[in-house]
């Protein structure tokens, strides 16, 4: 896929810069400023870097929930208690070491931040194909801001669409380093 190839071509400096820009854009959002509980994730590989964002939200006083990948592919959630509260998990993921709170813990989030490979203007996101985040997003209330983090160029144009099936859950916004947060749908 073209997007994944472009991601592999990003330098460490470009990944870090994108992470800083996304952190600043999300932190500036009113929903992030008011959020008591935030569900987020720790990025891996060439995903936009979220470690600075997660740490900043935690330092700001938000209660952070991070995912734990269950054997059935669903996501459980546990609290983030700082950089020392995570460990290596399955598939190269970093996961919280705190006790699991259950798959429905995401329903308490005031803001939900999810990964994506690409997204379209209707909020359909392309993930890694496991459906884990679609199951989690199906539990999020309709008034909660859900943001997919992308690199620049990964939000498809108005004439393009991400293939979406009946189980795929759209997001309400995307964030790109150069554009900030863009409301979709």
pLDDT tens by residue, 116-161: 999 999 999 998 778 999 999 999 999 999 999 999 999 998 888 9
Q: Residue 87 is part of a domain; what is its CATH number?
A: 3.40.50.10420
CA atoms within 13 A on the CB side of 140: 26
Residue 49's nearest CA partner among 18, 24, 79 is 18
Q: What is residue 138's predicted lDDT score, i.e. its pLDDT? A: 96
**DSSP assignment, residue 123?**
S
What token pair was written down for 120? 């379209």
Q: What is residue 1's predicted lDDT score, i.e. its pLDDT? A: 62
Note the residue count of the chain: 185
**DSSP assignment, residue 154?**
-
Residue 25: pLDDT band (50, 70, 90) is very high
Domain of residue 46, residue span: 2-183
For residue 24, what are the contacts with CB-CB under 8 A and spacing of at least 6? none
Residue 45: pLDDT over 90:
no
Instruction: Give the count of domains, the chain.
Output: 1
Mean pLDDT of the chain: 93
Question: Long-range contact list for 179-184, CB < 8 A, 24+ apart?
Answer: 179/152, 179/155, 180/21, 180/25, 180/28, 181/25, 181/26, 181/29, 181/147, 182/155, 184/119, 184/120, 184/121, 184/122, 184/123
Residue 111's nearest CA partner among 162, 61, 146, 149 is 146
- Tell me the whole-structure pTM to 2 decimals: 0.94
Report, as an integer, the average pLDDT of 78-96: 92
């Amino acid at each position: 896929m073209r997007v994944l190839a472009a991601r592999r071509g990003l330098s460490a400096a470009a990944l870090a810069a994108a992470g800083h820009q996304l952190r600043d854009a999300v932190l500036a959002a009113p929903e992030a400023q008011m959020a008591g509980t935030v569900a987020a994730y720790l990025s891996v590989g060439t995903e936009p870097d979220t470690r600075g964002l997660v740490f900043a939200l935690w330092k700001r006083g938000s209660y952070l929930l991070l995912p734990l990948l269950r054997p059935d592919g669903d996501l459980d959630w546990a609290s983030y208690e700082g950089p020392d509260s995570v460990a290596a998990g399955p598939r190269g993921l970093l996961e919280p070491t705190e006790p699991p709170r259950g798959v429905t813990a995401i329903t308490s989030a005031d803001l939900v931040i999810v990964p994506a490979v690409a997204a379209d203007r209707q909020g359909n996101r392309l993930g890694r194909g496991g459906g884990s985040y679609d199951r989690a997003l199906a539990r999020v209330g309709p008034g909660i801001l859900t943001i997919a983090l992308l690199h620049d160029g990964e939000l498809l144009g108005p004439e393009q669409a991400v293939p979406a099936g009946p189980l795929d859950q759209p997001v309400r916004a995307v964030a790109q380093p150069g554009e900030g947060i863009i409301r979709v749908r």
